[in-house]
């Protein structure tokens, strides 16, 4: 039977509309009703007190997994969701998944402590509590706690809430101070939208208790997580000195709020670089680095001996090194300084915001943290190459190659006890919970970037007069050709360093060849910009002789070879560029991107994965409530 062309066309229109719906639903987040407005404070507090028994049974854990097969846990979760305005009517898929998980949980034993751990979980769920702001009179403390949920590979749905309570030390009485809740569809790699403001009176014998419930579901993988976490800090402590993160920070002023960590190579915009000390001065991008150094703010490209961190062991190019310097003070009580008695936990987390990969230090830093002091400085280069949320065999590694040019956030949380003087001359212990972070909630620097991408030593660069000069001999102020029409731009920065990973060797039918790193930008015949590592033989690319076809694309050993990159264009030159023009150059005859193009290519946001179909109805209800 002959097909009806109109019905065929109609079906294609339907498919196109459906794809459009899927693409438009990825990465949507919104606030929910504060739980305290949907359920009485008494019920919320009573639920929280019952959960305290479960949570406190596993000391040393920052988050615990809830068992939906347990009647008490299931009631706690559904109460909190309903308090935030989630019901089986407006969130049918969410409650269907909860019911299914409950039935599955009832059919198998709960593993208790084996499942109660943040290490190895699909999602990292944490509360961050920065030091409070004190009122001019000193009587009122204002806290701004917030929640982070980061799931490896993302999630179709994430729910998170935060409840802030004021409690007596023995937890015999609680009062609810603030509550917030939120959700995200089609994201889940870096959900930090849920935070609260809590104003409380400083008082003896009282604590601030911040607790959070998080729920994450992913349709494609079948992964689920229901997690609960708590932070407790004394309201008798005044934040004198507090907790200040001095490094890492932006040292070289630039157009963005990024902190650039150039571990193996880079230019004058690097805030930090691997280096070797030569006569007491850090020499960046040495063949055998001995530490990491911070840039001199007034002299970009030069690095400070005062801001130098020795490597904890022999350099490993795969490792993620983060310089951390922080001022630590537990605060004071009765106008007298308290001293740190002990640290219960100390956790630095480096989060890949695109993929939800959470990396942490391989060695517990508590041994490096000073105790017995009212004020001290923590100063260390931490190796953050341990994957925290590794729950599957194909999980990525926390290595430099994986995080290159991806936006990353950082958090550092200290939990401990301070010994404080009493009026009668005795002393007592007060708990503290202190966090600092570099993320989208930070007032200044918002993210860290590990940078790389270069051309091999010896690569000829075409100058303005047509001569080819090895890239290592190109100097600041030289002018290079950027297209076949003779346009030129000035070299404003030269990045350099070492390479240990294999290089990409390109050859074409005219005999041209170039060696470059896998993430260096190359222009295709149609003008698209791609990473060299993604090219294949027979791809068509642009050269100084026009369009050519690649005859060979091979990986070749780098063997620690020096590599270079150029940044092109003065402010005036860049202002004169026509819209759509790019800062390109000819390397070995191939048209490739400069340092700015390489960074733009690597930093370009990837399209979000479409939301799984079963969650579309929940999303429609959520959007309707938001408008």
**Cα angle 104-105-108, degrees, rounded to a multiple of 5:** 95
Listed residue (29, 31, 96) closest to 68, CA to CA? 96
Judge whether 182 and 32 are in contact, CB under 8 Å.
Answer: yes
The whole model's pTM is what? 0.85
Q: What is the mean pLDDT of residues 523-546?
A: 95
Query: What pLDDT is attached to residue 94?
Result: 97
Query: Which residue in this structure is represented by tokens 């590990």?
Result: 450
Handedness of CA 184, 186, 192, 193 (dihedral sign): negative
Q: Looking at the chain, how many residues does it have?
A: 627
Judge whether 214 and 118 are in contact, CB under 8 Å.
Answer: no
Judge whether 175 and 190 are in contact, CB under 8 Å.
Answer: no
User: DSSP string covering 578-596, please?
Assistant: PTT---EEEETTEEEE-HH
| Average pLDDT in the chain | 87
Q: What is the mean pLDDT of residues 24-32?
A: 75
Distance CA 67, CA 70 (A): 6
Q: Is the pLDDT of residue 447 over 70?
A: yes
- Catalogue the long-range contacts made by 309-318 (C-beta closer than 8 Å, 24 or more residues apart): 309/379, 309/380, 309/381, 310/381, 311/381, 312/363, 312/381, 312/383, 315/274, 315/288, 315/289, 315/290, 317/263, 317/264, 317/400, 317/500, 317/501, 318/385, 318/397, 318/399, 318/400, 318/401
pLDDT digits (tens, 9 = 90+) for 404-434: 778 899 999 999 999 999 888 899 999 999 9
Query: What pLDDT is attached to residue 608?
Result: 63
Query: What pLDDT is attached to residue 7?
Result: 30
Token pair of 404, please? 């290159």
Token pair of 266, please? 């880079």
pLDDT digits (tens, 9 = 90+) for 598-621: 878 876 666 667 889 999 999 999
Query: Which residue in this structure is represented by tokens 């308090």?
Result: 83
Fold for the domain defined by 25-236+613-626: Immunoglobulin-like (2.60.40)
Judge whether 155 and 216 are in contact, CB under 8 Å.
Answer: yes
Token pair of 421, please? 């003087």
Distance CA 365, CA 177 (A): 33
Fold for the domain defined by 455-593: Endonuclease - Pi-scei; Chain A, domain 1 (2.170.16)
Query: What pLDDT is attached to residue 264?
Result: 72
* Better-scored residue on pLDDT, 376 or 603: 376
Query: What pLDDT is attached to residue 607?
Result: 64
Predicted confidence band of residue 391 (pLDDT cuts 50, 70, 90): low
Distance CA 326, CA 337 (A): 18
Distance CA 121, CA 507 (A): 45
Judge whether 51 and 76 are in contact, CB under 8 Å.
Answer: yes
Contacts of 554 (CB under 8 A, 6+ apart): 504, 505
Distance CA 539, CA 506 (A): 11
The Cα-based distances of 412 to 330, 360, 435, 526 in angstroms read 15, 10, 6, 46
Predicted confidence band of residue 540 (pLDDT cuts 50, 70, 90): very high
Question: Which sequence spans correspond to the domains of the chain?
Answer: 25-236+613-626, 243-450, 455-593
Judge whether 229 and 246 are in contact, CB under 8 Å.
Answer: no
Query: Which residue in this structure is represented by tokens 């066309």?
Result: 9
Pick left, alpha or beta for residue 27 (phi over 0 → left; psi -120 to 50 → alpha; otherwise beta).
Answer: left
Domain 25-236+613-626 identical in fold to domain 455-593: no
Q: Is the pLDDT of residue 268 over 60?
A: yes
pLDDT digits (tens, 9 = 90+) for 134-182: 998 888 999 999 999 999 999 999 999 999 999 998 877 889 999 999 9
- Catalogue the long-range contacts made by 250-255 (C-beta closer than 8 Å, 24 or more residues apart): 250/444, 250/445, 251/294, 251/295, 251/296, 251/297, 251/307, 252/295, 252/297, 252/300, 253/297
Distance CA 445, CA 439 (A): 7
Q: Is the pLDDT of residue 3 over 80?
A: no
* Better-scored residue on pLDDT, 265 or 496: 496
């Amino acid at each position: 039977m002959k097909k009806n062309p109109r019905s065929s066309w109609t079906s294609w229109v339907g498919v196109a509309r459906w794809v459009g719906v899927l693409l438009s639903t990825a990465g949507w987040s919104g606030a929910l009703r504060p739980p305290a407005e949907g359920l009485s404070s008494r019920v919320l507090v009573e639920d929280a007190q019952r959960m305290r028994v479960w949570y406190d049974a596993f000391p040393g854990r920052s988050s615990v997994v809830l068992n939906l097969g347990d009647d008490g846990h299931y009631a706690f979760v559904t109460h909190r969701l309903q308090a935030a305005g989630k019901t089986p009517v407006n969130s049918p898929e969410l409650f269907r998944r909860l019911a299914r998980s409950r039935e599955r949980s009832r059919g198998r034993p709960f593993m208790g402590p084996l499942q109660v751990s943040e290490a190895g979980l699909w999602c990292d769920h944490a509360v961050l509590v920065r030091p409070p702001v004190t009122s001019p009179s000193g009587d009122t403390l204002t806290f701004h706690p917030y929640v982070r949920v980061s799931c490896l590979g993302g999630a179709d749905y994430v729910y998170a809430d935060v409840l802030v309570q004021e409690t007596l030390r023995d937890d015999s009485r609680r009062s609810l101070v603030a509550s917030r809740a939120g959700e995200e569809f089609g994201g889940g790699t870096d959900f930090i939208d849920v935070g609260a403001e809590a104003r409380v009176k400083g008082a003896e014998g009282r604590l601030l208790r911040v607790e959070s419930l998080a729920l994450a579901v992913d349709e494609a993988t079948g992964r689920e997580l229901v997690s609960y976490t708590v932070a407790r800090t004394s309201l008798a402590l005044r934040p004198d000195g507090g907790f200040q993160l001095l490094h890492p920070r932006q040292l070289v002023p630039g157009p963005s709020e990024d902190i650039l960590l150039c571990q193996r190579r880079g230019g004058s915009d690097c805030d930090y670089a691997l280096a070797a000390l030569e006569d007491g001065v850090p020499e960046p991008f040495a063949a055998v680095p001995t530490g990491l150094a911070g840039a001199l703010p007034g002299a970009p490209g030069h690095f400070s001996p005062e801001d130098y961190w020795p490597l904890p062991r022999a350099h490993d190019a795969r490792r993620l090194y983060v310089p951390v310097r922080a001022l630590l003070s537990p605060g004071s009580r009765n106008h007298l300084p308290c001293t740190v008695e002990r640290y219960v936990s100390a956790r630095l987390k480096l989060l890949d915001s695109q993929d939800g990969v959470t990396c942490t230090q391989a060695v517990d830093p508590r041994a490096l943290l000073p105790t017995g002091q009212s004020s001290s400085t923590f100063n260390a280069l931490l190796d953050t190459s341990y994957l925290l949320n590794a729950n599957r065999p194909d999980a990525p590694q926390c290595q430099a190659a994986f995080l290159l040019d991806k936006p990353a956030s950082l958090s550092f949380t200290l939990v401990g006890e301070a010994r404080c003087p009493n009026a009668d001359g005795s002393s007592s212990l007060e708990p503290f919970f202190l966090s600092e972070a570099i993320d989208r909630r930070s007032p200044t620097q918002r993210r860290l970037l590990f940078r790389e991408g270069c051309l091999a030593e010896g690569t000829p660069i075409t100058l303005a007069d047509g001569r080819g000069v090895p890239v290592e001999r190109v100097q600041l102020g030289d002018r290079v050709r950027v297209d076949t029409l003779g346009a030129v731009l000035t070299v404003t920065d030269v990045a350099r360093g070492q390479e240990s990973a294999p290089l990409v060797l390109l050859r074409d039918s005219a005999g041209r060849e170039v060696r470059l790193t896998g993430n260096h930008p190359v222009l295709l015949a149609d003008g698209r910009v791609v990473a060299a590592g993604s090219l294949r033989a027979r791809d068509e690319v642009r050269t100084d002789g026009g369009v050519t076809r690649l005859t060979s694309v091979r990986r070749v050993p780098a063997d620690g070879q020096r590599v270079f990159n150029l940044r092109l264009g003065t402010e005036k030159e860049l202002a004169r560029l026509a819209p759509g023009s790019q800062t390109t150059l000819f390397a070995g005859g191939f048209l490739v991107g400069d340092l700015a193009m390489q960074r733009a290519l690597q930093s370009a946001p990837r399209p979000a994965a479409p939301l799984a179909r079963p969650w579309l109805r929940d999303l429609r209800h959520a959007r309707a409530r938001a408008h």
